[in-house]
Amino acid sequence: MTADTPDEPEKSLFEAPPMGEQERMVEAILFASAEPVSVAEMASRMPQGCDPAEALQHLRRRYEGRGVRLQRVGDKWAFRTAPDLGFLLQKESVETRKLSRAAIETLAIIAYHQPVTRAEIEEIRGVSVSRGTIDLLMELDWIRLGRRRMTPGRPVTFVVTERFLDHFGLESARDLPGLKELRAAGLLDSRPPPGKSGDEDEEEEEGNDGQPDMFGEDGAQGAEDEWNES
């Protein structure tokens, strides 16, 4: 029984499937297995006489330069994504949102009054500052904690960051224009710029305290929007 006769034409009961078939088998086993598979394990699953080690070599060559490749993990084998294509397994979505009115006002107060405590921000805005607003501004790295105020309770203060200056194109917070300049620049126009109306909800959430004039700019703008929608 000299079994090694590759050029043997007639099939015997114990003849192994052709190497191409063995390659297919190894491919299917490795594909479907939930973990890397050893050569011994493959051999135990494949018909007798198969040589999974050799089939693996063929298969490995076949996948060279492909989107996936055959990789050795210890003494086992597995398909893995080609390293240069790892980015395909990351899905990233970027969503751009306008900063809420509460956030921009809080940020403005911090920028103009820094270092400023939370209580001071609330006093200026006339409404309480939600934890989320501060967190968001911190997360954006536009504000950070400053020194504690040397007053009873030693409250923390907030200051703007380098990144804030960078984002708003300022050399220092002192470059922010004063009220007079704002008015002169026409920035005290009563009309909120188009598209600002979405902020209304936010504001209502925090209460309308400090806005006794229901028919001020915001109320009117809100009402106008409702008409536009219908």
The minimum distance between CB 226 and other proteins, in angstroms, equals 8
Q: Which does 67 bind (CB under 5 to 8 A by kind): other proteins, a copy of itself, none?
A: a copy of itself
Question: Which residue of 8, 12, 14, 28 would you call a contact of a copy of itself, by CB under 8 A?
Answer: 28
Residue-level length of the chain: 230
Distance of CA 172 to the CA centre of its chain: 30
Smallest distance, a copy of itself to C-beta of residue 230, A: 18
What span, in angstroms and rounded, lies between the C-alpha atoms of 110 and 112? 6
Read out DSSP for 44-55?
HHSPTT--HHHH
Told to check if 26 binds a copy of itself by CB under 8 A, we report yes
Site residues (CB under 8 A) for a copy of itself, limited to 32-61? 32-34, 44-46
**Quick one: which segment of 74-82, 133-141, 144-152, 167-175 binds a copy of itself (CB under 8 A)?**
74-82
Q: Is the dihedral of CA 81, 85, 88, 93 positive or negative?
A: positive
Residue 76: φ, ψ to 5°:
-120, 175
- Is 76 a binder of a copy of itself (CB under 8 A)? no
Q: What count of other Cβ atoms lies within 10 Å of the Cβ of residue 193?
A: 7
* C-alpha closest to that of 229 among 189, 190, 200: 200
Binding residues for a copy of itself restricted to 132-191, rule: CB under 8 A: none
Residues that bind a copy of itself in the complex, under the rule CB under 8 A: 1, 23-29, 31-34, 44-46, 65-68, 79, 81-82, 85, 88-89, 91-92
